[in-house]
């Protein structure tokens, strides 16, 4: 398999908007409306010890929306040439990560929750887990 030629500049911050009233706020995500792929899997990361990082892989085909459902954390995107750090800290803001990029998550605040909406169900063959392999595939 070959990794896409996507770069860190192909990722985007999406304002999912929020509806506010005296009873609180709500943000809605709907396939075909405010997300550029159909969601096939949702998972979330939580109880991450201080100083720990998550991710550390790339995907051949998977797209993701990464959201700080609570607290804050950073996402480091890497296309083999460029790196970009994005801080997520609001539950109505999503980072759209396109295929072919190395990603790591770090700098988790206490009690943070990272919610991920994915374009595919889990498939180990879609992962590149070794950074040296990733760099070779991007050449």
Q: Confirm whether 60 is domain-assigned.
A: yes
What residues make up the domain containing 48? 8-138
User: Considering the entire predicted model, what is its pTM?
Assistant: 0.94
Task: Verify whether residue 57 is a known catalytic residue.
Answer: yes
User: Within a domain: residue 2?
Assistant: no
Average pLDDT over residues 94-114: 97
Strand partners, 66: 95, 116
Q: How many domains does the chain have?
A: 1
Task: Give per-residue pLDDT as tens, 57-97.
Answer: 999 999 999 999 999 999 999 999 999 999 999 999 999 99
φ/ψ of residue 9, rounded to 5: -80, -10
Residue 3 inside a domain? The answer is no
User: Is 69 domain-assigned?
Assistant: yes
Strands annotated E in 27-91: 41-45, 54-59, 64-70, 73-78, 83-88
* Residue whose structure tokens are 């887990």: 129
Specify which residues 13 forms β-bridges with. 95
The catalytically annotated residue of 18, 54, 57, 84 is: 57
47 occurs within a structural domain:
yes
């Amino acid at each position: 398999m070959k990794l896409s030629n996507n770069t860190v500049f192909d990722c985007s911050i999406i304002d999912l908007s929020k509806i506010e009233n005296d009873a609180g706020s709500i943000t809605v995500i709907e396939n075909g409306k405010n997300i550029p792929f159909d969601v096939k899997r949702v998972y979330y990361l939580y109880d991450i010890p201080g100083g720990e990082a998550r991710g550390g892989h790339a995907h051949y085909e998977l797209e993701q929306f990464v959201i700080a459902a609570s607290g804050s954390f950073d996402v480091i995107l890497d296309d083999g040439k460029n790196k970009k750090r994005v801080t997520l800290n609001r539950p109505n803001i999503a980072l759209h990560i396109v295929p072919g990029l190395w990603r790591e998550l770090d700098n988790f605040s206490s009690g943070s929750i990272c919610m991920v909406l994915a374009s595919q169900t889990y498939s180990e063959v879609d992962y590149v887990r070794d950074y040296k392999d990733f760099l070779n595939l991007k050449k």
